[in-house]
Amino acid sequence: MNSHRSRSDHRGPVLTFCSQALIVLALTAQNLVAQAQHPLDPLTEGEIKTAARVLKSAPQFPSGALFATIVLKEPSKQEVLRYEPGTTLKRSAFAIILDRKRNRTFEAIVDLRAQSVLSWTAVPEVQPGVLEAEDEPLSRIVTADARWQAAMRRRGISDFAKVQIEAWAVGQVAPAQRKGRLLRALSYYKGDSINFYGRPIEGVVALVNMNTEQVVEVVDTGVVPLAPSSQELDEKATGTRLRPRPLKITQPEGASFEIQGQAVRWQNWRFRYSMHPREGLVLHMVSYEDAGRLRPILYRASISEMVVPYGDTDQNWRWRSAFDAGEWGLGRLASSIEPNTDAPENARLIDATFADDEGASYTLPRAVGIYERDGGLLWKHYESYSEHNESRRARQLVIFFIATIGNYDYAINWVFNQDGTLEVDAALTGIMLPRGVREVKVDEHGGRYSSGHFVSANIVAPHHQHFFCFRLDFDVDGQNNSLEEMNTHAMPAGPGNPALNGMIMEETLLRSERQAQRQINMQSARTWAVLNPSVKNQYGQTSSYILVPGANALPYVAPQSLVRRRAGFINHHFWATRYNPAEMYAAGAYPNQSRGGDGLSRWVVNNEPLVNQDVVVWYTLGVTHIPRPEEWPVMPVTHVGFKMIPAGFFSRNPALDVPK
């Protein structure tokens, strides 16, 4: 699950223009926007530098410590909502500092104006996510270990430079081994191929203590032949499809969206965005301009956590359950969007600024993509008596980023629609995690694996699930919101239902956090509404936004397992909490090496009321992945998602005014 890529790939400016004049213009524009303009603007390069300098020169800063995080310390919601353009911005940075040698973690807040440390707190018994700076030492420690070297030689591998070491967060650890900061190392055979994931050196996993830089153990479950080297990912691998003729997307008058700093306007929608190293793309202050009135819908929306539990019970597999946000960082491992392939030709691609492990800032080119696309039919009616057709074509605005967590690539798309609908479309692609096996064909030895599917010669892809937990801080027409669950049923037989056709929808108020732990239910077409009890449309209906689930999954990892305790958010599809700025990450702030119990499952214990409160919704979106050979050596995209649709928020079809 790790990125072995050198971050230096991203550091230099990527010049896509040839004209010097354009470069000068671009640089000037960059300098102009280098100042934060809004309380929610992410840290600028200068602010990251200041934060790191202030912290490094503080007496408490341990020598040689690394920065697991340097991000904007978001001001309180009240401060942000009260903010008026032009007033002085209070800017603070939040940092997590890892003293790897002494196995200590600290949290700090820096006042960027005063250039002083506002707080410095030791956080005992936690491990920040895996750092880029740990790749090199891990690889060095493992490849120097005699046990690992012997395991390679047993497989006929003596040129260790041909082996790619891949770091993994340790996942489930035996109690006796829970000492210090741990990483596991998988080994792949690189050879000359782009896709080393296609050639796992199966059976060998090293467990390493990163504080002492010692290998705790090397587990070798036995030699399995390497998969053949033909695992290339381009068309040369197979052949001869004709290139389709050009399909041009042109916007002769330009795009219909406007971007000013981090603020976006498009077709009555207004929102801000930022790239966060942990959550990836974050939407802020999503609102809809309705007849000149700006109506808030979401204060903040992002992926708060992910977990990918693998279903293979083998000794070297049973611990695997990657927390891609908390252990790795979806923004930190975002990959640059390639024009014309990752995004259509009319996309605008925007760089993002992050802090590296040493506290230096760097720019990830083309981190966020934003573009308009054809949205199919928006609405239509053909009047057959008069033969009159009235219809409109839909346009959509997509804002997205792509996180590449080792072998997997996730494109997270937020799709704005003209009818007031906001959709999330998570696109899963990349390479399935492979397990090396003896068989080169399924029929050779029966070839069935109880917890995986054969996808290629010597490769089984184990069954697994992906769970995303979206944190959706709704503010529908303001902060005082309530929640209702909607269930649709057949009406019972009786005098009121003589033809047995009755169909009723029941609304249930979800009064408190524990009552709001819910599962999807196809039988009752279950949805959930976030409503503002004090705002009505012209017919007296309560203003609300409904969360409409799409495909989803239930976890197969057992309820009493450590994964379920660590990732409590997968126990329910729908959760709600009363707004608390400290509650950001569904599996807790430190899921790496966690023993469970933190995050959502802990926050709802006090069962706070949710009626007419500032409500935060957490939606867990699962995918059950039973691998197919058609998904090898690289997976065609799988889409999963959900929608947020207005209900009573408007008094009629809000897209009635879309011009022909």
The residues that touch Cu ion, with contacts defined as CB under 5 A, are 625
* CA gap 63, 274 in Å, rounded: 31
* CA gap 530, 613 in Å, rounded: 11
* CA gap 350, 363 in Å, rounded: 10
Residue 41: phi, psi to the nearest 5?
-60, 135
Shortest spacing between CB 231 and Cu ion, in angstroms: 18
Nearer to Cu ion, 625 or 643 (CB): 625
Q: Is the dihedral of CA 342, 72, 35, 479 positive or negative?
A: positive
Q: Scanning the structure block, which residue is given the tokens 């050009």?
A: 246
> Which residues are paired to 371 by β-bridges?
398
Shortest spacing between CB 408 and Cu ion, in angstroms: 7
Shortest spacing between CB 278 and Cu ion, in angstroms: 21
- Residue number of the CB atom closest to Cu ion: 625
Six-digit token string for 570: 């997968």
Shortest spacing between CB 451 and Cu ion, in angstroms: 14
Shortest spacing between CB 3 and Cu ion, in angstroms: 18
Nearer to Cu ion, 73 or 625 (CB): 625
Q: Is 408 a catalytic residue?
A: yes
Nearer to Cu ion, 181 or 625 (CB): 625
Nearer to Cu ion, 432 or 610 (CB): 432
Query: 407: burial class by Cβ within 10 Å (0-12, 13-18, 19+)?
Result: buried
> Which residues are paired to 467 by β-bridges?
307, 622
* CA gap 401, 399 in Å, rounded: 7
Query: 299: burial class by Cβ within 10 Å (0-12, 13-18, 19+)?
Result: buried
* CA gap 634, 587 in Å, rounded: 30
* CA gap 161, 55 in Å, rounded: 38
Question: Prior bond to 633 cis, omega within 30?
Answer: yes
Nearer to Cu ion, 484 or 631 (CB): 631
Within 8 A by CB and 6+ apart from 548, the residues are 527, 642, 643, 644, 645
Cβ pair 92, 111 in contact under 8 A? yes
Six-digit token string for 220: 């070798």
Q: Scanning the structure block, which residue is given the tokens 């990125």?
A: 3
Residue 139: phi, psi to the nearest 5?
-60, -45
Six-digit token string for 469: 């937990």
Shortest spacing between CB 497 and Cu ion, in angstroms: 45
Nearer to Cu ion, 154 or 639 (CB): 639
Nearer to Cu ion, 368 or 570 (CB): 570
Q: Scanning the structure block, which residue is given the tokens 């800017």?
A: 91
Shortest spacing between CB 624 and Cu ion, in angstroms: 9
Q: Is 83 a catalytic residue?
A: no
Rg (CA), the chain: 26
Element (H, E) at 641: strand 635-647
* CA gap 184, 1 in Å, rounded: 11
Alpha helices by DSSP H, listed for 425-576, are 562-566
Nearer to Cu ion, 215 or 403 (CB): 403
Within 8 A by CB and 6+ apart from 253, the residues are none
Nearer to Cu ion, 325 or 510 (CB): 325
Q: Which one from 408, 449, 590, 619 is the annotated catalytic residue?
A: 408
Shortest spacing between CB 282 and Cu ion, in angstroms: 24
Q: Scanning the structure block, which residue is given the tokens 């223009």?
A: 17
Shortest spacing between CB 202 and Cu ion, in angstroms: 19
Q: Which one from 220, 324, 477, 598 is the annotated catalytic residue?
A: 324
* Distance in Å from the first CA to the final CA of the chain: 48
Six-digit token string for 299: 């204060």
Shortest spacing between CB 402 and Cu ion, in angstroms: 16
* CA gap 561, 557 in Å, rounded: 7
Nearer to Cu ion, 1 or 530 (CB): 1
Catalytic residues: 324, 408
